[in-house]
Amino acid sequence: MNLSDFLTAIDSNLSVDGQGLCHVEINGHLLSFSETSDGLGFMIYAKVGAIPEKKSKLYAELLAGNLYGLGTLNAVLSIDEASGSVVLHRSFPSGALEEAEATTLLEEFISALSSWKEKL
């Protein structure tokens, strides 16, 4: 399954724009989709929230959450210094997903995103 197939599985009206991106709001979360930089898959990402002033506690929580993907349902938490945001993202190899799996993975991503938004 490639990015276009994944988007169609979510909603038949979704597609990438001229920059190869798709932005959609689902359950109150703004999600973005794009091809991976190596072109071998696609990724989903979303802003979790602003980086708080007390960063040391946040960094410890983010690192603990990333450990083996257990606290993120296999997604990855990152800091985007340019936007001052904590970002959650997950990559998928092209061709490796069935439609039912795509729906489950999207639900898991949204669940992890919701959880981390509450923690921030």
Which pLDDT score, from 0 to 100, does residue 78 have? Answer: 92
Looking at the domain assignment, is residue 67 inside a domain? yes
Distance CA 36, CA 61 (A): 26
CATH code for the domain in which residue 60 is found? 3.30.1460.10
- pTM of the predicted model as reported, rounded to 2 decimal places: 0.85
Q: How many structural domains is the chain composed of?
A: 1
Domain range for residue 100?
3-115
- Locate 43 and state its tokens: 């990724």
Looking at the domain assignment, is residue 9 inside a domain? yes
Tens digit of each residue's pLDDT (9 = 90 or more) over 43-87: 999 999 998 887 788 888 888 888 888 889 999 999 998 999 999
Cβ(42)–Cβ(3) below 8 Å: yes
Looking at the domain assignment, is residue 120 inside a domain? no
Whether the per-residue pLDDT at 97 is higher than 80: the answer is: no
Looking at the domain assignment, is residue 111 inside a domain? yes
Looking at the domain assignment, is residue 15 inside a domain? yes
